[in-house]
Amino acid sequence: MADTNPTTEKAPTTEKPSRVDTVGFVPASHAASLASVVQNDDTSHSTDSLSCDGQSPQPKHKTSAQKKVAVKRAVDGWTIATLEKGVNGLAAEFLKARKDVDQREISAFRAGTFQGKNRFGDIPCIDCTRVVLKNAHSDYIHANYVSSPRHPKRFICTQAPMETTCIDFWRMVIQEKAKIIIMLCDFFEQNFSKCAFYYPIEKGQVLQFENYEIGSREVRDIRPDDDPNGGTIRATSLRIRSTSGSQKVMHYYVREWPDRKTCSPRLIVKLLTEVRSSDRPIVVHCSGGVGRAGTLVAIEVLLEKLIAGESGLCHKRK
């Protein structure tokens, strides 16, 4: 997130603002884009979620008319509640959600630290949702499943591969039968290494990691249709070959998203539109796997909840 200077918030009035008045505080194009994204997705999905106890709620099915009403109510409610909170309110909510992690919940992470498998020592990997590597010398990789309304293992948020973990990364991709990888950092940022060169960036190039051969088959640039200057997504079609067979993977590389800052909203919408149909876990990483990666995943989870017509996504200030 971009650093912002706190401002004094106006005390909320007792009168509930109208949707027109509330949306007037943000660009109309942004509100229209959100409504368009949500309304144009007419697929139905379960409302599964993943927790450490493995419990998931039963899916709820609605008629087409009921869904449209529920979606409109969800979008309107979320928009009003979020704008009522303001930036300061959202920041306070974020800080409240953070908590100290019980050391007993990150035993694999602490062991991984001594194996040189963690990029940062202050970004823990929770045991109950971590990806466990199978048929490997070590079962540890700094990666966690993240649920969404579509699937309890909708995403895998992970740190950027290091020289010592590239092989683990590709083991995970093959094991989880992932079809999509999203890279939200650059290889170097402000003269610091943020990510190892774990995939071939040029068409026809091949990289080898032990018995995994990663080849680049096609490279193309994707831009938002309504914002040609909003940035570029580099899409690379990869084929991974190993002793267990071969697998096709699409790699999406976003360079125009600086660390702790923002990029074009339309670029994010375009990216999510490209990957939303995936029926396998979507692998997402920035450098640490929690900043830009967490933001992208949070946006998609919110959109999926709005598409499902879920209410109560935001608690209004009292």
Full DSSP string of 151-178:
-TT-EEEEPPP-TTTHHHHHHHHHHTT-
DSSP helix/strand/coil, 208: strand
pTM, two decimals, is 0.80
Two tokens, residue 65: 């008319």
Q: For residue 136, what pLDDT is reported?
A: 81
CA-based nearest residue to 251, from 282, 276, 280: 282
Whether residue 233 contacts residue 267, with contact meaning beta carbons closer than 8 Å, is answered with: yes
Q: Higher pLDDT residue, 256 or 125? A: 125
> Distance of CA 6 to CAs 13, 87, 89, Å?
20, 8, 10
- The CA distance from 225 to 137, in Å, is 46
Q: For residue 14, what pLDDT is reported?
A: 39
Secondary element (H or E) of residue 37: helix 28-40
Active site amino acids: 286
Q: Higher pLDDT residue, 16 or 196? A: 196
Architecture of domain 103-307: Alpha-Beta Complex (3.90)
Beta strands in 255-311 (DSSP E): 282-285
The CA angle 280-59-79, to the nearest 5 degrees, is 85
**If you write DSSP's letter for every residue of 229-251 in order, what string do you get?**
TS--EEEEEEEEEETTEEEEEEE
- The CA distance from 258 to 275, in Å, is 21
User: Over the stretch 203-262, which tens digit does the pLDDT of each residue have?
Assistant: 999 999 999 999 999 999 999 887 778 899 999 999 999 988 899 999 999 988 988 888
Q: For residue 60, what pLDDT is reported?
A: 57
DSSP helix/strand/coil, 2: coil
Percent of the chain at pLDDT exceeding 70: 78
